Amino acid sequence: MRTPLDPRAGAALLGAAVLGWASVEAVHALAARRGFPGGRRAVAPDVVVVLGCPPRPDGTVSGMQRWRTEIAVRTPGRPVLVFSGYARPGAPSEAAVMAAHARDVLGVDPARLRTEETATTTWENVVRTLGDLEGARHVALASSPVHALRARRYLARLRPDLAARLVPAADYRPGERWGLKAATAGYDLARSVGLRTVSSHRMSSSEEHGIEGS
């Protein structure tokens, strides 16, 4: 026989769920507004770089890839879409899978699509598409808002001149893909904690040996 749920416990669980939902939404809403050195302008980009992520094990488009591609496609104007992401042995590249989804499912003109198929990290996504951004007046980076913010910061470190051209992709919609939002927010939080832990360890080790941390 099941024990009835205490109404107070149920209310607490509901409150925690609502707080968790609101927190994830707030993190992404804030991220979508940050990382624009030239100011956050409502201008259509000429080029959108779509940051890669893995397809499903069978090589078909994953939920995260769908979301990132949809963000790029719904961004205003008719920008060139540059999909970046490498290929695992014997499988299509991340870039090719997303570009095919844009073309075959979302109806994007193939003339607007480019692929960069060597990048294995977000940093490399940015580094290896710099040439695609050179001639553009306005550029955008498409991914979940939290992930795109990290990529914008990378671009600002690499090429402040190009970062000054950044404008928003259509990445934040309240309530959209909440599960994926929670996953990306959790990943970036864990990543930040991990990097700080490594940095602190290096600093402590450097102090012990009487040298400066890198």
- The percentage of residues in the chain with a pLDDT greater than 70, rounded to a whole number, is 79
Across the range 160-167, mean pLDDT stands at 98
Amino acid at 130: L
Q: Among 23-37, 115-129, 155-169, which stretch is predicted with the lowest mean pLDDT?
A: 23-37
Give the whole-angstrom CA distance, residue 40 versus residue 81: 20
pLDDT grade for 179, boundaries at 50, 70 and 90: confident
pLDDT at residue 16 tops 50: no
Asked if the model's pLDDT at residue 116 lies above 80, the reply is: yes
Which tokens is 58 given? 């069978």
Res. 144: pLDDT tops 80: yes
Cα(125)–Cα(68) distance, rounded to whole angstroms? 14
Q: Enter the pTM of the model.
A: 0.80
Helices (H), 33-115: 63-74, 94-104
Nearest to 25 by CA among 186, 190, 189, 176: 176
